Amino acid sequence: NMRVLLLFGLVAIALADVTRFEGEKVFRLKPVLDEHVTLIKELAKSIEVDFWSPDSAELVTIDIDVDIRVPAIYLDIVYTILQQNDIEHEVLIEDLQAAVDGQADNKPTPRTHSYTKYNNWDKVQSWIASISSSNPSLISKQVIGNTYEGRPMTVLKLGKKSGSTKPAIFMDCGIHAREWISPAFCQWFVKEALSTYGSDSQMTSLLDQMDVFVLPVFNIDGYDYTHKSNRMWRKTRSRRSGSSCIGADPNRNFNAGWCTIGASSNPCSDTFCGYTPESEIEAKNVADFIRRNKSIIKSYITIHSYSQLLLFPYSYTYELAAHHSELLKVAEGASAALRSLYGTRYTSGPGATTIYPAAGGSDDWAYDLGVKYSYTFELRDTGRYGFLLPESQIKPTCEETMLAVKYIAAYVQKNL
Ligand code: ARG
Ligand code: ZN
């Protein structure tokens, strides 16, 4: 049957475009000597290693856990180097393709949007359209610009309509394409806000007094690419003549100590800071929106994964933020609230000392603009699944994170 053959042919072509990860492993290395650090950095130069944590080879230091993804063809070299030099290590993920395949729970994939699944961009986009028309008195939407590939970046505004301008919180998800739990949280947050307004006294008072702007997916082009072509993509998808490497790290592209530390000026690096601050249109669109609304935005919250951290400025310098002790106190309160549900432990502190110094982040930029309560969440887990957190963990992760975000929101509201 010709039609069946043709169909198989088309499917084969479609599949051929998808990067597969058979036999790849994710290692956790524990460098305890300067020599180990040097070796890891050299290894990263000579073979293709994908840094999961920290985000790049430059950020490797002594006494931190280093999670790296190693393609199958390099496994022998890596094992040899680790063994010859006595670098302590464990295998976090035995077979990455199996982990990619295991991420989705094995119920049949629904055709529609689901809060407990990782929705692709098409589903998120239609969800944005339907949820924003579902409850016109509590939610509205506005497009803040298009992505590099032309997709609309829509911000949802949650809050009881009021005659006067209200103070606001801005939250974004999905700056990094492969951190799929992050957009899942923004969707969950919107659903919870709408469904608990009127019954939950804190949510009711929050949305009566304030607006919450939610950008469900910041790096839409990258997110779409992780669904269609390469699950491990991190950056945007912008192109420049003169380089065959695609994209920049949107969280190194903001104008906060831009490209001075913990970022790369190499367009091929996963932490490429871009050609100029806000060279990535997605970063510019968000920065423009926050600048335009800077008098009302009191808090900036950005959701990443993984590591279970609640970070605040600064990351581009070791100097403490002017509001350090208050930011720390709120972060610790939020972490305690989060932990109260399922016992999940978070570490809080300034980015530079809590993970690593890295300039050009949206959190530091918003803070220096005057948005005092600026927080970066690194959601579950601590490395068992990393970016491939199973769908069965979406619900508990979102539930516990809600408590932390609501804690921050309540504090901001009390201190307007
Ligand atoms: N993992 C995140 C990143 O590297 C952490 C961001 C913390 N903030 C920062 N400005 N570096 O992008
Ligand atoms: Zn991230």
What digits encode the pLDDT tens for the residues 263-272?
999 999 999 9
**Nearest residue CA, atom 3 of ligand 1?**
251
Ligand 1 pocket, residue 364 CB under 6 Å? yes
CA-to-CA distance for 191 and 215, rounded, in angstroms?
Answer: 14
**Distance from the alpha carbon of residue 355 to the mean position of ligand 1, in angstroms:** 8
Q: Is the CB of 54 under 6 A from ligand 1?
A: no
Quick one: tokens of 212?
């919450």
For CA atoms 47, 238, 362, 122, give the dihedral sign.
negative
User: What's the pLDDT tens digit per position in 357-403?
Assistant: 999 999 999 999 999 999 999 999 999 999 999 999 999 999 999 99
For ligand 1, atom 2, name the residue with the nearest CA: 304
Instruction: Tell me the residue length of the chain.
Output: 416
200 DSSP assignment: S
ipTM above 0.95, yes or no: yes
Helix (H, G, I), strand (E, B) or coil at 300: strand
The b-or-e profile of 245-263 (16+ CB within 10 A means b, else e) is ebbbbbbbbbbbbbbebbb
Closest atom of ligand 1 to 352 CA is 11
Q: Using the atom order of ligand 1, give the atom closest to the CA of residue 356.
A: 11
Position 13 scores a pLDDT of 61
Name which of 193, 152, 156, 161 is nearest 172 in CA terms: 156
Buried b (16+ CB within 10 A) or exposed e, 4-14: eeeeeeeeeee
Residues 235, 321: Cα–Cα separation, whole Å? 28
Quick check: CB of 315 below 6 Å from ligand 1? Answer: yes
Please list the alpha-helical segments (H only) found in 85-169: 96-103, 121-134
**Rounded-to-integer distance, Cα 167 and Cα 155, Å:** 16
Q: Where are the alpha helices (DSSP H) in 293-323?
A: none
pTM of the model: 0.94
Q: Whose CA is nearest to atom 12 of ligand 1?
A: 251
Q: Which of 24, 179, 278, 378 is catalytic?
A: 378
For ligand 1, atom 4, the nearest C-alpha belongs to: 55
**CA–CA gap between residue 201 and residue 199 (Å, rounded):** 6
Query: Is 311 near ligand 1, meaning CB less than 6 Å away?
Result: yes
Residue 15 confidence (pLDDT) = 61
Angle 71-72-76 (CA atoms, 0-180°, nearest 5)? 110
Q: Whose Cα sits closest to atom 9 in ligand 1?
A: 361
Decide if pLDDT at 107 tops 80.
no
pLDDT digits 0-9 by tens, 166-213:
999 999 999 999 999 999 999 999 999 999 999 999 999 999 999 999
Query: Annotated catalytic, 149?
Result: no
> Which ligand sits closest to the CA of 234?
2
SS3 content of the chain, % helix, strand, coil (to 5): 40, 20, 40
**What pairs with residue 378 in β-bridges?**
304, 309
Which one-letter amino acid corresponds to residue 29? Answer: L
Question: Ligand 2 centroid to 305 CA: how many Å?
Answer: 6
Top mutation candidate among 251, 270, 311, 316 for ligand 1, by most atoms within 8 Å of CB: 251
Q: Which residues surround ligand 2, an ion (CB under 5 A)?
A: 176, 304
